[in-house]
Homo-oligomer: A and B are copies of this chain.
């Protein structure tokens, strides 16, 4: 792709300026959880789109969180007169900062050595993900400066609530599908090399349901509003026993979930997925994984293909937490008047979270646990993108051009609200890019500046984005 050499030369010549632009973005705080700098950062992001010659809108959120209002979405449009339209998804918000734990100011974006990576920009958002997002704008600016226009049209959708649940984004996309009707595919720019230079690609993710289960004393029995001396347990019901029995009724000792219909919608691997899994098995190592996860044993002592299938294709019912009564030193002989548990369900991408939630509710009615209250937090489906989608092929091709060792997964076990692209808008979604950073969600978050061994620096990250855009335009 020698016709891009002029763009690459431009990027090299403007390296210092590009780094300064990244630093400048990182110096604008945007902590969604604490509501710091959100409107300012949204406006700044909108300006980046306008600087490319696009149109941008800062859209107020209709969402009300418990501690703050929702934060604005940045919606933008850049018409390049191209055939294809790419929906660029991004986030301008970051995790909170615990200032005193940082060696350098978290919004200073200072450049310091971090062994073994050499010089790095240190700031909240450096890798997750304002650093790569601004590098993408640098890449777009370089193309426009040299070529006059991008090879694809772009719809920008950059949210300020990625770290707090994306409610505004999900609401907006569901209600405004027509604004995205031109989009052929969606992409999130990242710097996704690990410490060894490898990249993990997931072509989708599982769905999620999160909810609370609460049992309190009431008309059915149990102490009402205050704990009782435990001698009364002989004649008074116990809400914590009730909750435990309700939980135990939902799952057997092997881990199988006993809720009717819980496995409805689980599909076996498609032939495309089988191909991916067979390829994945060549680099999958359960011993390394045990160390990474700090576990001594996997369920049922599974290995290889069976372990991967268990991880991806089995929905789970997990207890995030449970609390009742007294667990401090010594004893406090009480019947607690209240018990609560917090659970999450991980769904196969083809499962319908609303149906599964109904099944949970039915289980409690059928098993006569009407005295256990259910409180839903979230029920969102998973997502899958075909490995044959042009956007995926363009991404894989670009990785190959950089000789990046990659591990492809049919989808990931975690959750991200990518169903808004694949299910609501019906377009494929991929996340990707080269470069490396770390300590996301921790002090001294960093992104590395220059190529170090197999890990690429920021100028290559920008060049990768350029190549990827052209590769996609050509598919």
Contact = CB atoms under 8 A, between A and B. Distances in A.
A221 B377 contact: no
A66 interface: yes
A342 B329 CA distance: 10
A334 interface: yes
Interface string A269-300: 00000000000000000000000011111110
Contacts of A346: 230-231, 233-234
B326 A236 contact: no
Contacts of A415: 231, 333
B219 A296 contact: yes
Interface in A289-334: 293-299, 302, 307, 310-312, 314, 316, 318-327, 329-334
A119 interface: no
A429 B302 CA distance: 61
Nearest to A317: B233
A299 B221 contact: yes
Most central of A223, A233, A296 by chain B CB within 10 Å: A233
Nearest to A321: B325
A302 B342 contact: no
Interface string A321-353: 111111101111111100111101010000000
A96 to B, nearest CB: 13
Contact of A295 (B236, B310, B336): B236
Most central of A219, A223, A294, A319 by chain B CB within 10 Å: A319
A142 interface: no
Nearest to A242: B253
Contact of A326 (B221, B223, B342): B342
A255 B335 CA distance: 14
Interface stretch (A3-11, A176-184, A243-251): A243-251
Given A66-B329, A217-B296, 15 more contacts: A206-B231, A221-B298, A226-B294, A228-B293, A230-B318, A231-B346, A231-B414, A231-B415, A234-B311, A234-B312, A234-B413, A318-B333, A320-B327, A320-B332, A321-B334
Interface of A: 66, 165, 206, 208, 210, 217-226, 228-238, 240-241, 244-245, 247-248, 251, 253, 255, 293-299, 302, 307, 310-312, 314, 316, 318-327, 329-336, 339-342, 344, 346, 377-378, 412-415
30 contacts: A66-B329, A165-B330, A206-B231, A217-B296, A221-B295, A221-B299, A222-B295, A223-B293, A225-B294, A231-B412, A233-B316, A233-B318, A234-B310, A238-B319, A240-B321, A241-B251, A244-B247, A319-B324, A320-B326, A320-B332, A320-B333, A320-B334, A321-B324, A321-B336, A322-B322, A322-B324, A322-B325, A322-B339, A330-B377, A332-B342
